[in-house]
């Protein structure tokens, strides 16, 4: 910011932050419409991150709608800037700058890198096909891959044409790579947070008469391994086949969740729930 002021580009930088602010307000208003609790919003030059209290306990549909609400703000701001320039209300060069800035921020945020909007949309999509634990793992790995590609891309002009390194891409790519490295390491914690919200929501899900999805497991499997099969978008009935016990047993997923969060060994066998 100091460098932009010294070089006469402070107005452009301020405009970028205003665009980012409106972008994030789109997320905030969408999240509030679903009753989410917003903990904080971090504003960054390339975008922002809205942290919510309900992370881990929200549906993929709501997550996707809140994620796309940000780039949609860039659409109307970019079109408005272009229109004001075309009608002669604003200087054409300034209108083009704002329109291009909105396009750049929207497209960048749609990259499949968590916690960018594209990463959250990817996460919501994966939730329909994978269990929650695998979704967390795949999100982290794809995000690390694209973050690394961004850093590599910053050096391509120097390697191919002998030009300079794109410092902005190096900084942003490194920030995203380190964020996702931490995210990958915190997957066990994120999964237990998911189970905590799952325990709270179990009674509500049953009260609404939600359709269930069956899981067939062996009594020798650990409680934690069964919990890792849970899908974000479904409520499960667990069919336990145990040759050493009473044959086939059916339990709601809440019993598995409570077993994992009870403070006892989550790696004990499912058959132990039946005494």
Q: What is the per-residue pLDDT across 111-168, written as a single tens digit (0 to 9) for each?
A: 999 989 999 999 999 999 999 999 999 999 999 999 999 999 999 887 777 777 888 8
Q: Is the dihedral of CA 102, 108, 110, 116 positive or negative?
A: negative
Checking if the pLDDT of 86 tops 60, the result is: yes
Tokens representing 41 are: 């919003």
Alpha helix positions (H), the chain: 2-6, 10-33, 60-86, 92-109, 117-127, 132-161, 167-185, 187-207, 223-227, 253-261
Is pTM beyond 0.85? Reply is: yes
pLDDT tens readout for residues 163-199: 778 888 898 999 999 999 999 999 999 999 999 988 7
Confidence of residue 52 (pLDDT cuts 50, 70, 90): confident
Task: Count CB-CB contacts under 10 A for residue 8.
Answer: 8
Checking if the pLDDT of 241 tops 70, the result is: yes
- pLDDT value at position 14? 83
Query: Quick one: average pLDDT of 211-230?
Result: 91
Domain limits, CATH 3.10.580.10, in the chain: 211-274
Checking if the pLDDT of 49 tops 80, the result is: no
Burial class of residue 252 (count of CB atoms within 10 Å of its CB; 0-12, 13-18, 19+): middle
Specify the 3-state DSSP secondary structure of 236: strand
- pLDDT value at position 64? 95
When computed from its CA atoms, the radius of gyration of the chain, rounded to whole angstroms, is 23
Mean pLDDT check: name the lowest of 108-112, 207-211, 216-220, 242-246.
207-211
Architecture of domain 211-274: Roll (3.10)
């Amino acid at each position: 910011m100091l460098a932009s002021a010294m070089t006469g580009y402070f107005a452009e930088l301020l405009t970028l932050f205003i665009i980012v602010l409106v972008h994030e307000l789109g997320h905030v208003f969408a999240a509030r419409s679903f009753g989410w609790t917003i903990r904080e919003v971090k504003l960054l030059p390339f975008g922002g991150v809205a942290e919510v209290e309900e992370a881990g306990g929200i549906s993929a549909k709501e997550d996707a709608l809140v994620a796309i609400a940000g780039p949609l703000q860039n659409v109307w701001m970019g079109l408005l800037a272009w229109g004001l320039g075309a009608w002669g209300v604003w200087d054409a060069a300034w209108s083009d700058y704002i329109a291009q800035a909105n396009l750049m921020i929207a497209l960048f945020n749609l990259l499949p890198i968590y916690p960018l909007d594209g990463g959250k949309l990817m996460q919501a999509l994966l939730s329909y096909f994978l269990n929650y634990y695998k979704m967390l793992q795949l999100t982290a790995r794809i995000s690390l891959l694209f973050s690394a590609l961004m850093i590599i891309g910053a050096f391509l002009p120097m390697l191919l044409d002998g030009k300079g390194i794109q410092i902005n891409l190096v900084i942003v790519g490194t920030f995203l790579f380190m964020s996702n490295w931490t995210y990958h390491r915190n997957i066990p914690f994120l999964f237990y947070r998911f189970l905590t919200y799952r325990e709270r929501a179990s009674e509500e899900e049953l009260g609404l008469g939600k359709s269930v999805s069956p899981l067939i497991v062996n009594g020798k499997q650990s409680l934690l391994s069964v919990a890792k099969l849970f899908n974000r978008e479904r409520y499960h009935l667990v069919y336990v086949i145990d040759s050493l016990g009473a044959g086939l047993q059916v339990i709601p997923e809440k019993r598995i969740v409570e077993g994992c969060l009870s403070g006892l060994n989550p790696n004990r066998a499912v058959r132990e729930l039946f005494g």
